[in-house]
A and B are shown apart, each in its own frame.
Chain A
Amino acid sequence: EVQLVESGGGLVQPGGSLRLSCAASGFTFSSYWMHWVRQAPGKGLVWVSRINSDGSSTSYADSVKGRFTISRDNAKNTLYLQMNSLRAEDTAVYYCARERNWGQGTLVTVSS
């Protein structure tokens, strides 16, 4: 069974940093492109970033470009999202996802 389990969310002050992790199991992690998607409270799904299977190619939404960094450790079956210079508008539930499968999400709240 495919499982994606996010962790690392929490409350952070504006301008602060946070690193999210997504532990993958039940499939060959190193074969799949992976994505981060976020959902602000009461709003829709918004794509944030993606990384290819070996980590050599990444892409970001304009709203996070230059502040967020996606990475992966295929030996540890783990996806990461390093978030710097956080803003109030980054407050959301962050989901890691691959084609057809989603994690349960982790809440990031940016507030003073």
Chain B
Amino acid sequence: NFMLTQPHSVSESPGKTVTISCTGSSGSIASNYVQWYQQRPGSAPTTVIYEDNQRPSGVPDRFSGSIDSSSNSASLTISGLKTEDEADYYCQSYDSSTWVFGGGTKLTVL
């Protein structure tokens, strides 16, 4: 079964840039789209990146997504960090017609 692996946690200071990785277990991560979800405590997930690198309306351009085929990984980069970006972030892709999630990364902005 296809799996996605994320770092458990990352931390960075306000105003800095952070990148969260999401590594596929097999095959090519570039074969299917990757989405990224933000989940603040006590709230439902919201989409910050879809189809690898697309931002929904209302998501600031400080959020960007990319794919690196050489490392079979996707990345979420957040620049100009704000305290409001502190949240859990999940990557999601596909295995056949099912969704596969990474384990989530807790971003601390300190």
- Asked if residues B45 and A95 are in contact (CB atoms below 8 Å), the reply is yes
A9 to B69 alpha-carbon distance, docked (Å): 41
Residue A44 contacts which of B44, B98, B104 (CB distance < 8 angstroms)? Answer: B104
In the bound complex, residues from chain B placing their C-beta under 8 Å from that of A45 are: 37, 39, 45, 90, 92, 101, 104
In the bound complex, residues from chain A placing their C-beta under 8 Å from that of B90 are: 44-45
Q: Is the interface of B mostly helix, strand, loop or mixed?
A: strand
Size class of the contact patch on chain B: 20 to 34
In the bound complex, residues from chain A placing their C-beta under 8 Å from that of B47 are: 100-102
- Asked if residues A44 and B103 are in contact (CB atoms below 8 Å), the reply is yes
Chain B 48-74 against A: per-residue CB contact (8 Å), 1 yes, 0 no?
A: 001000001000000000000000000
Residue A99 contacts which of B45, B50, B88, B100 (CB distance < 8 angstroms)? Answer: B50
Q: Can you name the residue of chain B whose Cβ is closest to the Cβ of A57?
A: B97
Q: Does A104 contact B (CB under 8 A)?
A: yes
User: Which B residues have a C-beta under 8 Å from some C-beta of A?
Assistant: 35, 37, 39, 44-47, 50, 56, 88, 90, 92, 96-104
